[in-house]
């Protein structure tokens, strides 16, 4: 039996339609689970720690369905990078290929702590390890951080990854990785595949990779339909006709897919990860948020690359919301009209970042809502901070106003990992030191193309 917690008198956004929203209620955590959500819970157990949540919004932890975690080591380097420049600097034998196993470890540890600090309790790490030792380091980094994660196991980010003629499939040890690290579906870090997909590999390779995901009972994520690649390929249509689209399939970006292909995704239960800020910046195309909604799907959100943007989901909620509103407003303006009620609501976007994300990753039974019986992945947001106070609309406050500095407390599977604005159980000075060692090593191995600028250590 572990320590229990009673969060008293918080504004509870459950993200569960059966439970609803409370202006003031309590949440009881026992062991790793949410035990009850209701007003005026009384407990006599001395092992239950009571936390005053009266000036807090209590809600599910945020779910990031697409992030390259190791890139925390090259944070802020790519604020002026297009997609081709990003690839040139990090892949094609560039920075990413220079990682040592210890760099992979500290990159994933640092990136996971950044996520937790920002209230992101679940993330899909779209990973491209260069060796079994790199794979071990990446997985250990996620585990040691204490985050809930899907380790999406991919292939190295060399030229072959982006070469349609490549026939390279997964390393022979991939089943061994599943057996060694992911024997149970009940653990915090679970297994997925990050496949190249039909736009960046032979069709037969894609089929084999999807079949392997089925065999391993793993989420299968792929980049599809973005940039100039996606404008000519009908990849989703081909997958649909082959019967390969299932709820296991996670499509990333999808900016330039055909309108009928969004319906194919929705009809088969496949998920779509929108990474709006990076997509708008790097040249992927306009975020596909509204297109998927219009065809019956519910998109999810991801940060993608912290080379170019901060590792928090508050920013991505804002970008997704306003990019879609701008798109539909422009259609009305072109007709000589003005919008009435805006086309996309903040409540929908909060769902993208919580319950929809959990469902896309196959984790809806564990996380994504404040529901009794689910694991206690919760965050508490201070409403007394000046950028939020006074709160009239709690959902609007989270989606439009909040940022990581407002995240007071974070629980993952009932364990308190952040409290009073401070991460717990970690030596941040030691982690910063190790991250700087990796950064300095990488800069001796590869100089990024626009790195002629002041570098702060």
Q: How confident is the model at residue 455 (pLDDT cuts 50, 70, 90)?
A: very low
Q: Give the pLDDT confidence score for residue 184 in this predicted structure.
A: 87
Q: What is the C-alpha to C-alpha distance for residues 276 and 322, in angstroms, rounded to an integer?
A: 10
Alpha carbon of residue 7 to chain centroid:
26
pLDDT at residue 448 in the model: 75
Q: What is the enclosing helix (H) or strand (E) of 89?
A: helix 83-90
> In whole angstroms, what is the distance from residue 22 CA to residue 304 CA?
33
pLDDT in the model for residue 164: 47
Chain-centroid distance, C-alpha 197? 20
What's CA 278's distance to the chain center, in Å?
13
* SS3 state of residue 142: helix
pLDDT band for position 43 (50/70/90)?
very high
Least confident span in 183-197, 222-236, 342-356, 401-415: 222-236
Res. 225 pLDDT band, cuts 50 70 90: very high
In angstroms, rounded to a whole number, what is the distance separating the alpha carbons of residues 240 and 242? 5
pLDDT tens profile 260-270: 999 999 999 99
Task: Pick 131 or 21 by higher pLDDT.
Answer: 21
Q: Are 343 and 324 in contact (CB under 8 A)?
A: yes
Q: How far is CA 283 from CA 90, 148, 229, 308, 353, in A?
A: 17, 30, 11, 13, 23
Residue 444 has pLDDT above 80, yes or no: yes
253 contacts 225 by C-beta, under 8 angstroms: yes
Instruction: Output the average pLDDT for the chain.
Output: 93
The whole-number pLDDT of residue 212 equals: 92
Rounded to an integer, the average pLDDT of 425-446 is: 96
Instruction: Report, as an integer, the average pLDDT of 231-260.
Output: 94
pLDDT at 246 over 50: yes
Least Cα distance to 57 among 318, 420, 402, 298 occurs for 402
Q: What is the DSSP secondary structure assignment for residue 232, as one 8-state letter?
A: T
How far, in Å, CA of 52 to CA of 168, rounded?
55
Give backbone dihedrals phi and psi of 91, rounded to 5 degrees, phi first.
-130, -155
pLDDT bracket for residue 167 (50, 70, 90):
very low
pLDDT over threshold 50, residue 338: yes
Residue 12 has pLDDT above 80, yes or no: yes
β pairing state of 21-30 and 33-38: antiparallel
Nearest-Å Rg of the Cα atoms of the chain is 21
pLDDT value for 450? 55
Confidence at residue 92, expressed as pLDDT on a 0 to 100 scale: 80
Q: For residue 8, is pLDDT > 70?
A: yes
CB atoms within 10 A of CB 216: 19
Residue 288, SS3?
coil
Greater confidence (252 vs 130) lies with: 252
Q: Name the pLDDT band for 185 (thresholds 50, 70, 90).
A: confident
What's the first-to-final CA gap in the chain, in angstroms? 44
Q: Whose structure tokens read 């990078």?
A: 81
pLDDT tens string 62-86: 999 999 999 999 999 999 999 999 9
Kindly provide the b/e burial profile for residues 164-185, where b requires at least 16 CB atoms within 10 angstroms of the residue's own CB: eebeebbbeebeebbeebbeee
Q: Give the mean model confidence (pLDDT) for residues 92-105.
A: 93
Cis, bond preceding 390 (omega within 30 deg of 0): yes
Token pair in block for residue 364: 């809806």
**Which pLDDT value is given to residue 45?**
82
Contact, 54 vs 39, CB < 8 A? Answer: no
Distance between CA atoms of residues 233 and 256, nearest Å: 9
**Is 147:112 a contact under the CB 8 Å cutoff?**
yes
Compute the average pLDDT of residues 170-189: 85
Contact 283, 227 (CB under 8 A): yes
Average pLDDT over every residue of 365-379: 98
Per-residue pLDDT at 453 = 46
The secondary element (H helix, E strand) that includes residue 324 is helix 313-334
Residue 332 has pLDDT above 50, yes or no: yes
Whole-number pLDDT of residue 2: 64
Task: Read off the pLDDT band of 159 (50, 70, 90).
Answer: very low
Rounded CA-CA distance 162/154 in Å is: 13
DSSP-derived secondary structure for 237-252: HHHHHTT---TTEEEE
Least confident of 123-132, 213-222, 224-233, 422-431: 224-233
pLDDT-derived band at 175, boundaries 50, 70, 90: confident
Q: Both tokens of residue 306?
A: 């912290």
pLDDT of 452 > 50? The answer is no
| pLDDT above 80 (res 147) | yes
pLDDT above 80 (res 228): no
Q: Name the least confident of 380-384, 389-393, 446-450.
A: 446-450
DSSP code of 425?
Answer: S
Residues sharing a CB contact under 8 Å with residue 172, sequence separation 6 or more, in sequence order: none
pLDDT at position 165: 45
Q: Which residues are paired to 25 by β-bridges?
A: 10
> Is 369 or 232 the better-scoring residue by pLDDT?
369
Question: CA 126 → CA 103, 119, 154, 197, distances in Å?
Answer: 16, 19, 7, 13
Of all residues in the chain, the percent with pLDDT exceeding 90 is 86
């Amino acid at each position: 039996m572990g320590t229990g917690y009673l969060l008293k008198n918080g504004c509870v956004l459950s993200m569960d339609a059966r439970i609803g929203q409370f202006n003031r209620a309590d949440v009881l955590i026992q062991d790793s689970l949410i035990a009850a959500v209701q007003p005026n819970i009384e407990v006599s157990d001395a092992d239950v720690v009571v936390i005053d949540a009266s000036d807090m919004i209590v809600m599910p932890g945020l779910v990031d369905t697409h992030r390259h975690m190791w890139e925390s080591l090259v944070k802020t380097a790519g604020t002026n990078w297009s997609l081709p420049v990003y690839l040139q600097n990090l892949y094609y034998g560039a920075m990413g290929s220079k990682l040592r196993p210890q760099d992979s470890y500290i990159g994933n540890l640092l990136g996971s702590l950044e996520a937790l600090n920002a209230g992101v309790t679940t993330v899909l790490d779209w990973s491209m390890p260069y060796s079994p030792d790199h794979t071990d380091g990446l997985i250990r980094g996620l585990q040691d951080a204490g985050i809930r994660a899907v380790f999406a196991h991919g292939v190295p980010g060399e030229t072959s990854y982006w070469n349609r003629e490549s026939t390279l499939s997964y390393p022979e040890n991939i089943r061994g990785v599943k057996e060694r690290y992911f024997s149970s579906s009940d653990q915090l870090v679970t297994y997925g595949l990050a496949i190249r997909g039909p736009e960046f590999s032979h069709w037969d390779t894609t089929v084999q990779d999807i079949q392997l995901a089925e065999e391993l009972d793993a989420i299968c994520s792929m980049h599809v339909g973005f940039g100039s690649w996606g404008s000519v390929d009908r990849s989703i249509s081909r997958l649909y006709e082959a019967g390969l689209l299932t709820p296991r399939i996670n499509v990333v970006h999808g900016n330039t897919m055909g309108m009928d292909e969004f319906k194919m995704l929705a009809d088969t239960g496949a998920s779509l990860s929108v990474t709006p800020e990076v997509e708008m910046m790097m040249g992927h195309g306009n975020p596909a948020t509204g297109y998927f909604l219009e065809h019956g799907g519910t998109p999810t959100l991801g940060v993608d690359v912290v080379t170019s943007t901060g590792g928090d989901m508050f920013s991505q909620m804002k970008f997704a919301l306003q990019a879609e509103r701008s798109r539909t407003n422009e259609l009305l303006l072109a007709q000589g009209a003005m919008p009435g009620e805006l086309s996309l609501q903040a409540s929908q976007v909060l769902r993208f970042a919580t319950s929809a994300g959990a469902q896309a990753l196959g984790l809806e039974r564990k996380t994504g809502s404040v529901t009794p019986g689910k694991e206690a992945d919760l965050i508490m947001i201070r409403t007394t901070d000046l950028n939020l106070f006074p709160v009239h609309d709690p959902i609007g406050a989270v989606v439009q106003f909040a940022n990581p500095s407002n995240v007071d407390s974070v629980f993952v599977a009932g364990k308190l990992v952040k409290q009073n604005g401070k991460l717990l159980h970690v030596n941040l000075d030691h982690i910063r030191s190790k991250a700087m060692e990796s950064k300095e090593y990488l800069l001796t191995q590869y100089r990024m193309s626009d790195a002629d600028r002041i570098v702060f250590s």
